Structure formats: C-alpha cells, structure tokens
C-alpha cells in the first residue's frame, strides 16, 4: 500500500479547463461520477452507481490511503485523490457521491455545488442547523443542479402504497406516528464497532482533513475509524437511522419541521468509550398536530424497524412490507390490504441519474433533506442539553 507521501507525489493536483456546468444530459450520454469518501457506505453506493445504465466511476477521493487502494479495484482506470477539492476541478466529472462522516457533509456539498457537480448526498444531509443553511445557500446559488439525499426509502414502492392509503381517506385523521428502530449484536461485539488496523497512522490518514471544522484533536485512529461514537462527527443513531424513518413520512405526508422535540435515553449497554447513546426515545410535535415518536436501542431486536401511522379510521403499518389495517370502531366492514407496489433494484441511485438527464426533481430532493436534518439536530440538542427544544421558523433557530 502506498504511503501518503508517495501517494501525493503521484496524484495530479489540478486539471486545466472550465468547471462542469451541471447541464442536462441526454438519455444515452454516460454520466461520469466521482466519489468523495470511499469507506463502507461510499463503496456500496459506488457499486450501485456503476451497475446503473450509462454511468461510469471515474474518480475517488478519501483521506485514507488504504481506501484509495481498495477503490481502484472497483474502477482500475479511475483517478484517485486524497484531497477531494482537486477532484472537483476535473471538468469531465458530471456528478459526485458524498459519503463522508456527517460533520464533513456541508463542506463537501458546498464545494461540489460551487464546482457545478450534480450531487448524491448521503444522510443525514446536514450535521447542524448552520450547516443546513450553508448547504441551502449553495444549492440555491448553483441553480439547476440535481440533488438526491440518500434516504433510499423515498424511492421504494411503499411510498406509492402509503400515499394511496392516505389519499383514499381510509386512514382518517392521523394524530400519531410511532416508530421503532431496534438492533442486537452478539455479546461482546458492540454495534458499529470497527477494528483499528496497524496502517491507520498519521502517515496514511490526512488527519486535519478528517477533522474539518471539528474541534482540534491529536491524531487518534479510534476516533477516525469509529467516528460514529463521537459527538464531534456524529449524531448517533438519530442521524444514522431515525432520519430514514422521518424522511419516508416527511415525503409521503409533507410534514414540516417539528415545533417541539424531546429526547431521553443514555449509554445503558455499550461502555466502550462512545459518547452517543445506545438506548433512546424521541418525541416530536409537528405543526400538523401529529406526534411522531421514535424509540431505538442496541440491546434487543424484537421490535425491529417499523412505523405505525395511527389514524381514526385505520393504521398504516410499515416494516419489510406495508399494509393497511382498519379501525373497526369506525370502519367495521373495512378490509386489511397489503402493499403491492414493487421497488426496482438500485431505485434511488437510478432515480438520481435519471433526474440528471431529465432535470426533474429527485425522489428525495433537498427540501426533504433539510427538514429531516433540522428535526434530527433538534433531537440531538434536546438530549445533550437535557431539555425540550423548540424551532423558531422566523429566525430558523433551535431555541
């Protein structure tokens, strides 16, 4: 494996020519893609993109040399960079996939927008309220660029099924949504734990680039590879998974940012140096007079990943499948229904690429990502400040 010094000596630091303009591409034109952050998730979405029609992986950027070496196996002819900004100077790249740790999302997204690149931004879109505002300004400044936020459920067939149930009136007046997200792992194998490899050294990782605007720290391989454990870089499971469950219903029901959020819980199970909780409850009051409750834990998976939309006339129960169950008190003759709409392979990524070509809005556009980001940050702030927080829509601040 290359050392950082040798790698930098072999990498081009810039390319001549004008920046990409984000133009609409024809149906048969190949979309050239760069990936920023080629870890586990970046590799997954890179493979999805490569499997889509008329798409090509042409460049990778990461702060860790091992990941650059591994990425070359996906696309041997792709250019590689330790500094993603040099990659964005390449006018031949049409779009980028951003899969960095959460605290770097805004930095990379703004640079991609300013460079004229269409952007698939992994969740949660924004780490803080300020990041969300900065990203919004860049998106608006960019004009006609396509943006897809990585809430894959927004491209599932379940969206159509849920929307049909609601539009038909058979659910009635919805006042609550109750969601679960529970996991378990073998004893002694903590959720999210990743090994620290011997080559994770200051020589092979651009530590300052990883830190971004986070607080200064001496090099720490554990903080680098297990960044999900630490508040400086992560919103914990709120930003990892609550965001997905919010995004689906924010899309289907058009829910606005909650006006009040409370989060409780703690580190009840994994005493391994992590800062983010492993057991939690979030209660979100929405302007639509809907209470969205979310429970999560890492010590038992019996409740799984589910949501129940609770209406006066029926319930929408969503898990691996989605179904409608009537409330007999108001619909005594109602029948249960099972969702039928299929989900195509790689639907979310294909939708992103198709929208680059058509200039249509993606299945999870910027606005959904923005609203979800604010709700998630409100939960984190409630937990960390040990109080209920509120959203001021006039000042766009958490108070």
What is the tens place of the pLDDT at every residue in 71-85?
A: 999 999 999 999 999
Q: How far apart are CA 65 and CA 135, in angstroms?
A: 28
Q: Which range among 28-32, 169-173, 297-301 shows the weakest confidence by mean pLDDT?
A: 28-32
Q: How far apart are CA 233 and CA 246, in angstroms?
A: 21
What is the pLDDT at residue 375? 99
What is the pLDDT at residue 25? 65
Which fold would CATH assign to domain 155-193+231-345+364-398? Dihydrodipicolinate Reductase; domain 2 (3.30.360)
Dihedral angle computed from the Cα positions of residues 339, 341, 343 and 349, in that order, rounded to the nearest 10 degrees: -120
Give the pLDDT mean for 195-207: 97
What is the pLDDT at residue 23? 57
CATH number of 4-151: 3.40.50.720
- pLDDT tens for 39-72 read 999 999 999 999 999 999 999 999 999 999 999 9
HEC sequence for 267-290 = CCCCCCCCCCCCEEEEEEEECCCE
- pLDDT tens for 211-267 read 999 999 999 999 999 999 999 999 999 999 999 999 999 999 999 999 999 999 999
What is the pLDDT at residue 325? 98
Examine the pLDDT at 19 and tell me if it is beyond 90: no
Task: Sketch the domain layout of the chain as residue ranges.
Answer: 4-151, 155-193+231-345+364-398
Q: How far apart are CA 115 and CA 245, in angstroms?
A: 31
- Average pLDDT, rounded, for the chain: 94
What is the pLDDT at residue 28? 64
Q: Would you say the CATH fold of 155-193+231-345+364-398 matches that of 4-151?
A: no
Q: How many Å is the Cα radius of gyration of the chain? A: 22
Burial category of 90 from C-beta neighbours within 10 Å (exposed 0-12, middle 13-18, buried 19 and up)? buried
What is the pLDDT at residue 18? 31
Examine the pLDDT at 27 and tell me if it is beyond 70: no
Confidence of residue 29 (pLDDT cuts 50, 70, 90): confident
State the DSSP code for 278: S
What is the pLDDT at residue 10? 42
What is the pLDDT at residue 24? 61
Can you give the pTM of this predicted structure? 0.93
- pLDDT tens for 338-385 read 999 999 999 999 999 999 999 999 999 999 999 999 999 999 999 999
- pLDDT tens for 102-131 read 999 999 999 999 999 999 999 999 999 999
Its sign, for the CA torsion 120, 364, 233, 277, is negative
Give the pLDDT mean for 295-323: 98
- pLDDT tens for 128-159 read 999 999 999 999 999 999 999 999 999 999 99
Q: Where are the alpha helices (DSSP H) in the chain?
A: 4-10, 40-51, 65-71, 84-88, 105-114, 129-142, 158-168, 207-211, 221-225, 236-237, 243-253, 347-358, 366-385
């Amino acid at each position: 494996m290359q050392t950082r010094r040798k790698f930098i000596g072999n990498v081009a630091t810039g390319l001549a020519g004008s920046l990409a303009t984000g133009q609409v591409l024809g149906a048969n034109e190949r979309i050239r893609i760069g990936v920023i952050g080629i870890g586990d998730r970046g590799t997954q979405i890179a493979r999805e993109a490569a499997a889509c029609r008329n798409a090509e992986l042409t460049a990778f950027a990461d702060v860790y040399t091992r990941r650059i070496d591994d990425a070359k196996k996906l696309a041997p002819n792709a250019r590689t960079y330790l500094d993603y900004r040099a990659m964005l100077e390449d006018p031949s790249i049409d779009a980028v996939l951003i899969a960095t740790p959460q605290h770097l999302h805004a930095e990379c997204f703004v640079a991609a927008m300013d460079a004229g690149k269409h952007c698939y931004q992994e969740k949660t879109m924004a780490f803080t309220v300020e990041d969300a505002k900065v990203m919004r300004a860049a998106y608006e400044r960019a004009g006609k660029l396509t943006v897809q936020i990585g809430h894959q459920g927004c491209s599932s067939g379940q969206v159509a099924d849920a929307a049909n149930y609601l539009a038909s009136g058979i659910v009635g007046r919805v006042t609550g949504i109750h969601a679960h997200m529970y996991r378990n792992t073998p004893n002694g194998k903590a959720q999210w734990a990743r090994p620290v490899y011997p080559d994770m050294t200051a020589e092979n990782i651009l530590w300052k680039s990883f830190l971004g605007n986070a607080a200064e720290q001496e090099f720490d391989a554990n903080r680098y590879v297990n960044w999900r454990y630490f508040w400086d870089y992560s919103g914990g499971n709120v930003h990892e998974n609550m965001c997905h469950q919010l995004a689906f219903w924010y899309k289907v029901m058009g829910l606005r940012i909650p006006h009040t959020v409370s989060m409780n819980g703690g580190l009840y199970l994994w005493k391994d140096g992590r800062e983010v909780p492993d057991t939690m409850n979030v209660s979100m009051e929405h302007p639509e007079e809907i209470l969205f409750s979310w429970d999560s834990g890492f010590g038992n998976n019996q409740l799984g990943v589910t949501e129940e939309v609770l209406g006066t006339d029926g319930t929408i129960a969503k898990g691996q499948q989605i179904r409608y169950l009537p409330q007999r008190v108001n619909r005594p003759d109602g029948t249960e229904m099972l969702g039928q709409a299929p989900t195509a392979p790689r639907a979310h990524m294909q939708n992103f690429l198709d929208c680059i070509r058509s200039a249509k809005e993606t299945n999870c556009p910027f606005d959904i990502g923005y609203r979800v980001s604010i709700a998630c940050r409100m939960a984190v702030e409630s937990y960390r400040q040990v109080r209920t927080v509120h959203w001021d829509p006039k000042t766009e601040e958490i108070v």
